[in-house]
Amino acid sequence: MLKYYEPHLDFSSPEQVNIMGVIVSLTQPVDGEILRSVIEELRIRFPYFYVRAVHQGSDVITVPNPLPMTLRNTWDPVCLNSRESNFHLAAWKYVHQRLAFEIPHALTDGAGVLPYVKSALFLYLSKATGQTFDPSGFRLPGEAIPESETGDPFLELDADGVETPLCRKKPVPDFFRLVSEDAADKRVFYLKLPEKQVMTYCRDKEASPNILFSVLLAKAARRYDPGSEKTITVDVAVDHKAILGNPDNYRMFAGSCTLDFPKSMDLKNIPLTCTMVYGQLILQSQPENSLWEIRQMKRMLPAPSSDIPRASICVSYPRSRSFGPLDPYIQEMYLVTSLSKITDVLCEVVCINHSFFLSFLQPFSSTGYLECFLEELRLEGIPCEVLFSEPLRMCTIQQMDR
């Protein structure tokens, strides 16, 4: 039987699978042969990403996959867990100066996958440029894999003894929606904002980037549909591992705090709104709340379905501030997901090279809501470039009956 902290995979239907990815644009075209050798070289340092899915009783588990992980010189998606991906649950691709790594969210999260991509770029750029970089802060072949990275991340915590947290957020049953149920034209817009202006604004308004983007996205929703009386809900992603003191584990222990923006909230007063929203976030992200979630996992209680809408908007901002000596070789970096029905619009935030890079993901092609968000940024004096947009082309996955 699977342990509570091991990946619980469900590939029984497309609705149950959410693929996540990291996209990096380099300053020079990608050398596919060098990248291919690096991907294979990293197998011994990150063996938990070089796996295939097999049945074990009623469970689907991962086992080592000796076949090469695929690397494609195209942006077209591949089907994971199938012959065309060598039955791997992850894959790489590249075109010109862009490269991407994609993997099911059930296996890992942003905090888990970024060290892998960071190490891949370290080895790749070392070989491609001939430069010698300081290896501090990178996970490289030849070093031991610590237990904290692969074992039970909460072994020393008494999750079973935790009491019900004082603050348990009740869901809003009929929240503001940006899409209709049949929206199916998934698209991603890539945005760039200067770090200095964003952080100066956050300092002046006593906010964090998470809070700032949540408030401005909520304001944009009100601008988009000013007549709606419904509460706008914004899910802010949190990392239970980091909250409970073990941020290094690769597994997916992400959760969310839901921020409510009722019609009565005065969104024109940004400092006050940020303070109120910060209070909501702090109450929901206490260690006892995370311990309660781990307690539920230990009892093998089913997780909420990824096919049921839970928020108007979601904001995710994993740790990604610097790739150290590699920064000069990186132009842009984005996180993306295949966009489940949990939220209508997803804003993934990355900060690197003195810029914030936002992937603005939505299941419809209209730019109306995005333009409202850009207007809110403009009114607050925060410059923003829309670099480009494209259809959301993520890997799919071969179904497996449970």
CATH number (domain holding residue 379):
3.30.559.10
Sheet of strand 232-239: strand arrangement: 254-261, 232-239, 311-316, 343-352, 355-362, 187-194, 385-391
Domain count, the chain: 1
| Residue recorded with tokens 């790749």 | 124
Instruction: List the domain range (segments joined by +) for residue 199.
Output: 187-328+342-391
Instruction: Check residue 14 and give its pLDDT.
Output: 66
| Within-domain flag for 69 | no
Q: Note whether 218 and 261 are within 8 A (CB).
A: yes
Instruction: Check residue 131 and give its pLDDT.
Output: 95
| Within-domain flag for 243 | yes
- Report the C-alpha gap between 361 and 370 in whole angstroms: 10
- Report the C-alpha gap between 71 and 85 in whole angstroms: 9
How far does CA 318 lie from the centroid of its chain? 7
| Residue recorded with tokens 């941020």 | 247
Closest CA relative to residue 353, chosen from 382, 399, 306, 320: 320
Q: pLDDT by residue for the chain (402 residues), tens digit each?
A: 677 777 777 776 666 678 999 999 999 999 999 999 999 999 999 999 999 999 888 788 899 999 999 999 999 999 999 999 999 999 999 999 999 999 999 899 888 899 999 999 999 999 999 999 999 989 999 999 999 899 888 887 877 777 777 677 788 889 999 986 566 789 999 999 999 999 999 999 889 999 999 999 999 999 999 999 999 999 999 888 888 888 888 988 888 899 999 999 989 999 899 999 999 998 888 888 888 888 887 776 666 666 678 899 999 998 766 788 999 999 999 999 988 888 999 999 999 989 999 999 999 989 999 999 999 999 999 999 999 999 999 999 988 765
| Within-domain flag for 348 | yes
Instruction: Check residue 56 and give its pLDDT.
Output: 83
Residues comprising the chain, all counted: 402
| Within-domain flag for 367 | yes
| Within-domain flag for 131 | no
- Report the C-alpha gap between 400 and 402 in whole angstroms: 6
Instruction: Check residue 290 and give its pLDDT.
Output: 86
| Within-domain flag for 256 | yes
Instruction: Check residue 46 and give its pLDDT.
Output: 97
Question: Quick one: residue 57, left, alpha or beta (phi over 0 = left, psi -120 to 50 = alpha)?
Answer: left
| Within-domain flag for 169 | no
Whether the pTM exceeds 0.85: the reply is yes
| Within-domain flag for 144 | no
